[in-house]
Amino acid sequence: MQPILQIRDARRTYATPEGGTVNALDGVNLDVGANEFVTLLGPSGCGKTTLLRAIAGFEELDGGAIHLEGADMRGIPAFRRPVNTVFQSYALFSHMSVARNVAYSLEVAGVGKSERMQRAGEMLDLVGLSGMGARKPSQLSGGQRQRVALARSLIARPRILLLDEPLSALDRQLRQQMQVELKNLQDEVGVSFVFVTHDQEEALTMSDRIVVMKAGQIEQIGSPREIYRRPATRFVADFIGETNMVAVALTGDGKATTDGGLVLAVPSDSGTGRATAILRPSDLSLTAADCAPNGAIPGTIRQEIYLGSELHFLIDVGGSIWRVTARDDGRDYHTGMRVALTYDPANVHLMPEAV
Ligand SMILES: Nc1ncnc2c1ncn2[C@@H]1O[C@H](COP(=O)(O)OP(=O)(O)OP(=O)(O)O)[C@@H](O)[C@H]1O
């Protein structure tokens, strides 16, 4: 099936006031399918917003091409593209009613009032604001205003909705609620979403696929599970959640040896040579040193961090610090205690050492 959005070798260089240049987009390739929720994730300055603005038509590329529904977008102004954008600051018209805000693009397009109001009502139902059309934006909460902005963007039935950190102004609880709602809404309306965030948890929660960017390039594209479980590079492993990374030599018999002489069990088909082994803190379990099974990793608790139902531990393993997340099982673990770490070898992910 033809992708709705095709990006080929997109390049954009900015001249900086300091006299240098920045490659904001440095050869980006990406396809987005119909009804897909794709998230652009990466640290500040990696090029997420530049890519979104190039898709929307607010920014020209220096090289490469963007196709929407098969059509080359070069020279096509923003308002003629089958996309709409939701920004962090929702920029509603404060003097207009909520319904009129939502219907504004239809008003500009000359659609008659009764149809406008009917469609605005449908959109407000969709985003959970039934009956609030007569209010002014100032009479709504932050989360409700963001929903009005969504309704306003969806009313013109774009094929793709671009969302630039739309939840970042909301407090944590509302934000988590809106993450679930936004994903449900996207399923319901069947529009492709390209969502920008630097919040990895948000990306994992909502996306069908995550695009991890670094310095104008794509590091990895994959499902949330692939990105979390099988990071392609150290950068991705580090950026998505907490990680234990250790350099090892694979000995080919389902074993690997760290530079400190520790022997780890790894998946049996792992081959030989140098590699980086990755173990997530939640894949490690903690036991007291005196009841450790064979092959457990010995260590000493350096710090214990209490987080309600979970405990986080920093464990000294032969001079390097490993992170472990454990459920609070009521046992008395304390700083300085000798412990052992156990794990399922199938959960050890191996990466080539160089990346
Ligand atoms: N108009 C501009 N002039 C010069 N440099 C720019 C301009 N716009 C962006 N840049 C630079 O291009 C790079 C990418 O910026 P961009 O806004 O796309 O990053 P981002 O990933 O969206 O970051 P953030 O998460 O902070 O919004 C940055 O190094 C930025 O400083």
Do 250 and 226 sit in the same domain of this protein? no
Neighbouring residues of 230: CB distance < 8 A, sequence distance ≥ 6? 222, 349
Atom nearest to 49 CA in ligand 1: 22
Residue 202 lies in a domain: yes
Local confidence pLDDT in tens for the 355 residues of the chain: 679 999 999 999 999 998 999 999 999 999 999 999 999 999 999 999 999 999 999 999 999 999 999 999 999 999 899 999 888 777 899 999 999 999 998 999 899 999 999 999 999 988 888 999 999 999 998 888 988 998 999 898 889 999 998 888 778 888 888 888 888 888 888 899 999 998 999 999 999 999 999 999 999 999 999 999 999 999 999 899 889 999 999 998 899 999 888 999 999 888 889 999 999 999 999 988 888 888 899 999 999 988 877 889 999 998 899 999 988 777 788 899 999 999 999 999 999 887 6
pTM to 2 decimal places: 0.88
Do 186 and 43 sit in the same domain of this protein? yes
- Ligand 1 within 6 A of 339 CB? no
CATH number for the domain spanning 327: value is 2.40.50.140
Closest CA to 239 of 282, 182, 278: 278
Residue 87 lies in a domain: no
Closest CA to 346 of 269, 250, 285, 276: 269
Do 280 and 346 sit in the same domain of this protein? yes
**End of a domain among 238, 266, 282?**
238
Atom nearest to 15 CA in ligand 1: 4
- Ligand 1 within 6 A of 44 CB? yes
Instruction: Name the closest-CA residue to atom 20, ligand 1.
Output: 45
C-alpha 281 – ligand 1 centre gap (Å): 33
Interface pTM, i.e. ipTM: 0.96
Do 140 and 164 sit in the same domain of this protein? no
Residue 29 lies in a domain: yes
Do 61 and 186 sit in the same domain of this protein? yes
For a pocket test of ligand 1, which of 50, 52, 55, 217 has the largest count of ligand atoms closer than 8 A to its C-beta? Answer: 50
Residue count of the chain: 355
- Ligand 1 within 6 A of 16 CB? yes
Do 45 and 192 sit in the same domain of this protein? yes
The owner of tokens 């009005």 is: 148
Q: Specify the amino acid at residue 221.
A: I
For a pocket test of ligand 1, which of 41, 49, 218 has the largest count of ligand atoms closer than 8 A to its C-beta? Answer: 49
- Ligand 1 within 6 A of 87 CB? no
- Tally of domains within the chain: 3
For a pocket test of ligand 1, which of 46, 51, 53, 168 has the largest count of ligand atoms closer than 8 A to its C-beta? Answer: 46
C-alpha 180 – ligand 1 centre gap (Å): 28
For a pocket test of ligand 1, which of 26, 44, 195, 200 has the largest count of ligand atoms closer than 8 A to its C-beta? Answer: 44
Q: Give the full edge-to-edge strand order of the sheet including 63-68.
A: 21-32, 5-15, 63-68, 71-72
Integer Cα distance of 308 and 166 in angstroms: 29
**End of a domain among 171, 203, 238?**
238
- The range of the structural domain enclosing residue 213 comes to 5-82+158-238
**End of a domain among 110, 140, 155?**
155
